[in-house]
Structure 1
Amino acid sequence: MCHVSRLFKFAVLMMSVVLVGCASSAARINTWEGSPQEAANPAVLKAPGAIQVKSVNGQNMTTYLIDDLALDYGLLPGKNEVVFTYKTIWAKSGVVENGESKVHTIESEPQVVRFDAEAGTTYQFVYEEPSNRREAESMVDSFSADIVTADGQNVASSTNWDGQSIFRTARTPIPQASGDNGAPAGTTLDQLKSIWADATEEEKRAFLRWAFE
Structure 2
Amino acid sequence: MLLRIATFTLVSLFLSACARSPVVQLYDGPARSDSSIVTVRVPSELEVFTINGEEVEGVNTFFSTEYKDLKVAPGRYEILAYYKELWQLDADNHEIVKTNPANFVVDGKPGEIWVLGFDKPQDVEAARAMEDNFHGWAENPASGQKVAAEKSKLVLKRGFMAPITGEEVTTPTTNSVAPLATGAAAAAPAAQAAQATYLDTLKAQWNQATPEERREFLQWISQ
TM-score (normalizing by structure 1): 0.61
Please, which of 5, 12, 15 is the counterpart of residue 17 of structure 1?
A: 15
CA contact (8 A) 2:100 2:154 kept: no
The structural deviation recorded for 1:138 is 1.3
Aligned counterpart, 2:36: 41
Could you tell me which residue of structure 2 aligns to residue 66 of structure 1? 63
Aligned residue pairs total 160
The residue identity in structure 2 corresponding to 1:34 is G
Do the aligned partners of residues 67 and 55 (structure 1) sit closer, same or farther apart at CA in structure 2, a change above 3 Å counting?
farther
> RMSD of the alignment, in Å?
3.4
Separation of aligned partners in 1, 2:103 and 2:34: 23
Residue 93 of structure 1 corresponds to which residue in structure 2?
90
AA partner of residue 56 (structure 2): N
Aligned partner of residue 60 in structure 1, secondary structure: coil
In structure 2, do the counterparts of structure 1 residues 93 and 176 end up closer, same or farther at CA, with 3 Å as the change threshold? closer
C-alpha contact (below 8 Å) 2:22/2:64 kept by paired residues: no
How far residue 9 of structure 1 moved from its aligned partner, in angstroms, is 6.5
For residues 131 and 20 of structure 1, what CA distance do their matches in structure 2 show? 25
| Aligned amino acid, residue 88 of structure 2 | A
1:188-199 correspondence runs (5 A)? none
162 and 103 in structure 1: CA distance in 2 versus 1, 3 angstrom threshold: closer
Hey, what does 1:154 align to over in structure 2?
146
TM-score by length of 2: 0.58
Q: Which runs of 5+ in 2 are unaligned?
A: 156-165, 175-223
Using the TM superposition, give the Cα deviation of residue 126 of structure 1 relative to its aligned residue in structure 2, in angstroms.
2.1
Q: Which residue, out of 73, 78, 82, partners 1:76? A: 73
Residue among 137, 141, 147 paired with 2:132:
141
1:41–1:150: structure 2 CA closer, same or farther, 3 Å change rule?
same
| Identical aligned residues as a percent | 16
State the one-letter code of the partner of 2:37.
P
Quote how far apart the aligned CAs of 1:28 are. 1.4
What per-residue deviation string (whole Å, max 9, x for no partner) do you get for residues 16-52 of structure 1? 2332113xxx521111222498986111111111111
Unaligned runs of 5+ in 1: 97-101, 164-172, 178-183, 188-213
1:126 and 2:117 matched: yes
1:158, distance to aligned residue in structure 2 (A):
3.3
